Structure 1
Amino acid sequence: MRASLTRRACAVALLVTSTLAPAVAVAAQPGGNERQSERAAVQARLLGEKIVPHKLDFQGTTVGGFSGVDRNRCTGEYVFLSDDRSQLQPARFYTARLDVDAAGVHAVDFTGTHSLLQPDGSSYPSPSLGDGKAVDPEEIRVDPRTCDYWWAQEGDRPKAVGAGPVIQPSIQFAGPTGDYLGRLPLPSNYEITMEERGPRRNQAIEAITFGSNGRVVTSAVEGPLLQDGPVPDLENGALVRVTRQTRDGRVLGQFAYPIEKIFAPSDPTSPWGPDTGVPSLLAFPDNPHRYLVLERTWVAGSGYKIRLYDATTRGATDVQARESLAGQPVVAMRKKLVADFDTLGLSTVDNTEGMTWGPELPSGERSLILVSDDNFVSDAVTQIIALAIR
């Protein structure tokens, strides 16, 4: 989702009971056969951070808008996805080498950039052309089997009927230089329709991750589907859908993830309302049901609230056959707070959108690399953060 118009951050709770879902059942606590890895509390601490110069020029492109990041095991490099909708330069990704260790983030060296290409080999056009072919890149993952790139884009729901073309969200595959390789079939309720169903405008797919050694692809929509009820407010949270699929698109299950209510009232003089949702999730390597989930909220006058959660689909209701979650009893995904970014000691808490596992540390902890989306505006930053996860 683009925060240049509606900036955001993130806040959360364990299980949300909202007006749209007045009876969210609490999942049973883990029994004796629950995996020890899922019972153990996850902790996080800050290793360090690095701020990339604003609007850095690299190979004739403007660095910024980073909404996704992943590590390529085949090259040792990281890939960063820009959410520039071909308005500055063609939609693209960057590769970089990061010098990260237990002492912090020492260097970020960009090594390449490539345009994401359409099936005919051309780059994606700007939305201003109005031809219905534009994309809104939001997440990128490296295929653990092939090291090709899988990337998600939100598409576009027009503000009103006839105000522009509907562009459907998608998860596409690209080669190492951006060549189009195909796409993943998505659940039918991810489709944007003009019958007030499907994802809201700028709240479609922002999060994808591989699990089970590449056999499972999990995605999440950023906010509640239109048919699932209203967005969070000061009193109520909401439920967003998380979907587990095979590599060929077969749905294995769909679950409700609870996002928090808005953490503070908006500045009444601002034209922008609060904005909250799930911009990224990341599968645990040793548990197919367990995920790190990033939540982000932005409130005018209060700024960003970013929180990281340890969540599980184990015991949650499979909602793939439910037309609506509004007013329905649902056992939501359970989650535990891992980190509130306000308490990490960062130089600033900004629009964090992407995360990936980094290398293991001598302490036995696993590093976690996160990146913020500066939306190419001067009052935001491209911030690369390294955490240690125990």
Structure 2
Amino acid sequence: MIMRIRTRTALLGAATALLLVPAAFPATAQESDARLLGSYVVPHDLQVGGTPVGGLSSIDYDRRSGDFVFVSDDWSDYAPARYYRAEISVTERGIDDVDFTEVHQFRRPDGRTYPTIDTWRDEQHSVPRAARNVLGTVDPEELRVDPLTGAVAWTNEGQRNAAPDGSARGAVLLDPALRISTRDGRYVRDLPTAPNEKMTTGGSGPRVNETFEGLAYTRDGSRLLSALEGPLEQDGPSADAGHGAFSRITVHDRAGRPIAQYAYPVEPLFAAPQPPNDWNTNGISSLLAGDAPDRFLALERGYAAGVGTKGRIYEFSTAGADDVLNRESLAGGGFRPVRKELVADLDEIGLSHTDNVEGLSWGPRLASGERVLLVVSDNNFSPHQQTQLIAIAIR
């Protein structure tokens, strides 16, 4: 059954239902530009259709059905790779209720669900690389509803599987993928990706676990943008507390062909991990379309072991940025990156706790004229983390 979002005020018409942001960059991020409405924690033991609701890495609003969609980044360990649909009640008070109504398992071209990574490791050496990319395991990270067709586009981060001795020699590669599925999860096709976003045995190409985290359709559905979480190997080291990095955002046409690529400046990590050599990261975890073909929002999610997590939302524009699609490396500079401005630092809008935030979606417009921005966190299926929905009012 199709469920519709409940709000006190009507959603905008279909043509503008999701994609209004401020018309110009603010000179600075004003406190009044973003204010916390509230947050909602999904119960850790929630089950839908016999699957555990967790690992939610993206959120999007389906203006055809009126519900929201969430992808789980489960490697099919807890249940087959899947996405969920839910009804969310958003008012001026914040998030009153979240009701998960459907689960849809992703299917391979042969109709089977995706295997676990361990099963894939057992099978991979006998499967040609081209077939491996559509038959292998998946790590879904962002899902968007196509505004023109209602199909779902989603990302798979891929994998670089080392040889048994841990060396790169003999490694079997699973390229990051941009995939189209039907509303009920059936495979349609893979979209082309930029040549520099293919997995290699090391030294160039995407870093493992820093590939396709962001995905967004433009307002009119004529373009699709994908974002790498962090820099390519040849573009320099990943961001840490001492320096930022350049990730790459690729523009695809309706057929999926890459037509341009832009450098996005990722901020330095907010703090050094404790101890200093422990796990830390900062990069793009979600993209969201803005009010013009060249305007978008980016969620940067940082984690420092022993310190915690930070989420910062930026508005950026590709206007005036240089196309780096055919540029081998960004390490030497000499190009104009996208322009960006801070919209909200989640630590500074009144949240008592920020978990592993990974997804962005537009919500309804409030009676005040503000637009709701929804953020979701990935609990990594851990009882020590939260599946957190955050509602922010944006001027």
TM-score for the superposition, normalised by structure 1: 0.87
- Counterpart amino acid of residue 303 in structure 1: G
Distance 1:63 1:137, change over 3 A: same
Instruction: Kindly provide the amino acid, as one letter, of the partner of residue 209 in structure 1.
Output: A
Secondary structure of the 1:224 match is coil
Shift of 1:328: 2.4
In the other structure, the counterpart of 2:377 is 372
User: Where does the alignment leave 5 or more consecutive residues of structure 1 unmatched?
Assistant: 1-35
Q: CA contact under 8 A between 2:59 and 2:361: conserved in structure 1?
A: yes
Secondary structure of 2:23's counterpart equals helix
Correspondent of 1:76 among 56, 61, 66: 66
Q: How far apart, in 2, do the equivalents of 1:163 and 1:299 lie?
A: 33
CA deviation vs aligned residue, 1:82-130 (integer Å, no higher than 9, x gap) = 0000011100111110001221100010101011000111000000011
Q: Is 1:358 aligned with 2:344? A: no
CA contact (8 A) 2:362 2:372 kept: yes
Structure 1 residues 269 and 242: CA distance shift in structure 2, 3 A = closer
What is the Cα deviation at residue 50 of structure 1?
0.5
SS of corresponding position for 1:80: strand
Alignment counterpart, residue 319 of structure 1, candidates 319, 324, 329:
324
Q: Distance in 1 between matches of 2:152 and 2:100?
A: 18
Q: 1-side partners of 2:355 and 2:367: how far apart?
A: 29
Q: Is the 8 A contact 1:184 1:247 kept in 2?
A: no
Provide the residue aligned with 1:382 in structure 2: 387
- Alpha-carbon contact 1:371-1:385 (below 8 Å) kept: yes
In structure 2, C-alpha distance between the alignment counterparts of 1:388 and 1:253, rounded to whole Å: 32
**Secondary structure at the residue paired with 2:161?**
coil
Within 5 Å, which residues of 2 pair with 1:206-355?
206-268=213-275, 272-284=278-290, 286-355=291-360
In 1, the alpha carbon distance for the partners of 2:270 and 2:310 equals 8
RMSD: 1.7
Question: Is the Cα–Cα contact under 8 Å of residues 50 and 105 in structure 1 kept in the other structure?
Answer: yes
Do the aligned residues in 2 keep the contact of 1:139 with 1:207 (CA within 8 Å)?
A: yes
1:58 is displaced (CA, Å) by: 1.9
3-state SS of 2:220 partner: helix
Q: Does 1:134 align with 2:137?
A: yes
Counterpart Cα distance in 2 of 1:117 and 1:170: 14
Unmatched runs of 5 consecutive residues or more in structure 2 = 1-21, 125-135
CA contact (8 A) 1:224 1:239 kept: yes
1:109 aligns with 2:109: no
- Contact 1:38/1:290 (CA < 8 Å) preserved in 2? no
Amino-acid identity (%)? 45
Alignment of structure 1 residues 80-229 onto 2, 5 Å: 80-129=70-119, 130=121, 131-132=123-124, 133-159=136-162, 160-162=167-169, 165-229=172-236
* Superposed displacement of residue 163, structure 1: 7.2
Describe the SS at the equivalent of 1:330: coil
How many residues were matched structurally? 354
Q: Which has the higher contact order (CA 8 A, sep 6+)?
A: 1
- State how far apart, in whole Å, the 1-side matches of 2:202 and 2:118 are: 25
Contact 2:25–2:315 under 8 Å retained in 1: no
SS in 2 for 1:342: helix
> 3-state DSSP class of the match of 1:227?
helix
